[in-house]
Amino acid sequence: MEIQFKRILLKLSGESLMGEKQYGIDETRLEEYAAQIGEIAALGVQIGIVIGGGNIFRGLTGAGKGFDRVKGDQMGMLATVINSLALSSALEKRGVKARVLTAIRMEPVGEFYSKQKAIESLEKGEVAIFSGGTGNPFFTTDTGSSLRAIEIEADVMLKGTRVDGIYTADPEKDPTAKKFDKISYDEIYNRNLKVMDLTATTMCKENNMPIYVFDMDTVGNLKKVILGEKIGTLVF
């Protein structure tokens, strides 16, 4: 089977990194992610990654508990940096070169992000991990990943989740929910489906960036997506 995507932006959920734990990083899940990413890197796929921070701190939740929203979001951005460093460490342990780029200056933790640096890194065969969201409060990591996907001129934005695609309702709550193989951005709006936040979805729509939603927590699925197996939902 042929590779379907030469350059991807992979969006990973911070919550998924918890695995079986209640908080923080599950080492087993981290290793599984690193193995799957290494597998497609070996095929020659150029990989950019954005990872959330919800396993450590979520800005909106903090705001609900009395934190200043801006400071809460800044704490959330730092959580994504911690996750990015953990993932880069797990990749390098497997012999996969990785580089962490941050949206806020914090050398020597990571290099300050620029499109040029990111693309140079991808073309050298490094996995480029984009941390710190957009560097601004009030934007989610979904919006950060949409922005980076568009900037690095990715073929697709792959959204790795706990479910195997987009459904008419939450399949974990509604057993009658039906899965979509394909769905348009407009239908997501009209059905009010919670795939990503509105800003992120709008950015993808306006820049013709397809989104592919799939279950990242099943080992081997990332390679299946890259080779064109229809295991998730395409948003176009």
Closest of 47, 49, 43 to residue 3, by C-alpha: 43
Average pLDDT over residues 200-221: 97
Could you read off the pLDDT of 48-100 as tens digits, one per residue? 999 999 999 977 776 778 889 999 999 999 999 999 999 999 999 999 999 99
Closest of 12, 37, 7 to residue 223, by C-alpha: 37
Closest of 120, 128, 139, 149 to residue 210, by C-alpha: 149
pLDDT above 80 for 15: yes
Percent of the chain whose predicted confidence (pLDDT) is above 70: 100
pLDDT value of residue 61: 74
CB atoms within 10 A of CB 108: 5
The pTM of this model reads 0.94
pLDDT value of residue 133: 96
How high is the mean pLDDT of the chain?
Answer: 95
Average pLDDT over residues 222-229: 97
Delineate the domains of the chain, giving CATH numbers in brackets: 7-235 (3.40.1160.10)
Closest of 135, 192, 184, 142 to residue 11, by C-alpha: 142
Terminal alpha carbon distance of the chain:
23
- The one-character DSSP state at 118 is H
Bridge partner list, 9: 48, 157
* Residue 149, token pair as written in the block: 């996907």
Report yes or no: 63 and 45 within 8 Å, Cβ to Cβ: no
Q: What share of the chain is helix, strand, coil (3-state, %, to 5)?
A: 40, 20, 40
* Residue 59, token pair as written in the block: 């800005």
E-assigned strand segments in 78-173: 98-102, 111-112, 127-131, 156-161, 166-167
Which of the four pLDDT bands, split at 50, 70 and 90, describes residue 231?
Answer: very high
Q: Could you give the 3-state DSSP secondary structure of residue 180?
A: strand
